[in-house]
């Protein structure tokens, strides 16, 4: 079954959906963080599939590492978000334009 259903395509589709989720999102920063998590998931999914396909353990090790990194990253990101909310009382992406070129 695995030979006929190319799971790489599925994971790339998932990645692109998450990219579009970041891309088209104008309002909420939480949705962005969730899309980011989805990106990590699709990447680790891809790595796991590749590790099975190639019969190599390194992909799974990488996906485990990515899991920890993603957890750390989402915790730090949420912490920044909370601090930002505490200062500005708003988390709308559109209104974050203090830094201009």
Binding stretches for another protein (CB under 8 A):
19, 22-23, 25-26, 93-94, 96-101
Strand partners, 92: 28
Q: Which is nearer to another protein, 60 or 84 (CB)?
A: 84
Q: Which is nearer to another protein, 55 or 94 (CB)?
A: 94
Contacts of 50 (CB under 8 A, 6+ apart): 8, 56, 59
Q: Which is nearer to another protein, 48 or 81 (CB)?
A: 81
The DSSP result for 4-22, as a single string, is TS-HHHHHHHHHHHHHHHH
Smallest gap from residue 65 Cβ to another protein (A)? 23
Smallest gap from residue 57 Cβ to another protein (A)? 29
Q: Which is nearer to another protein, 5 or 99 (CB)?
A: 99
**CA pair distance 41, 61, nearest whole angstrom:** 14
Take residue 23 and report the two structure tokens written for it: 């891309």
Smallest gap from residue 4 Cβ to another protein (A)? 28
């Amino acid at each position: 079954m695995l030979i006929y259903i190319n799971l790489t395509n599925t994971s790339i589709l998932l990645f692109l959906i998450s990219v579009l989720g970041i891309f088209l999102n104008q309002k909420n920063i939480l949705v962005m963080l969730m899309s980011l998590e989805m990106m990590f998931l699709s990447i680790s999914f891809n790595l796991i599939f590749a590790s099975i396909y190639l019969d190599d353990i390194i992909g799974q090790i990488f996906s485990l590492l990515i899991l920890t990194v993603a957890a750390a990253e989402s915790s730090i990101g949420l912490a920044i978000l909370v601090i930002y909310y505490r200062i500005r009382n708003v988390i709308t992406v559109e209104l974050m334009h203090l830094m201009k070129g």
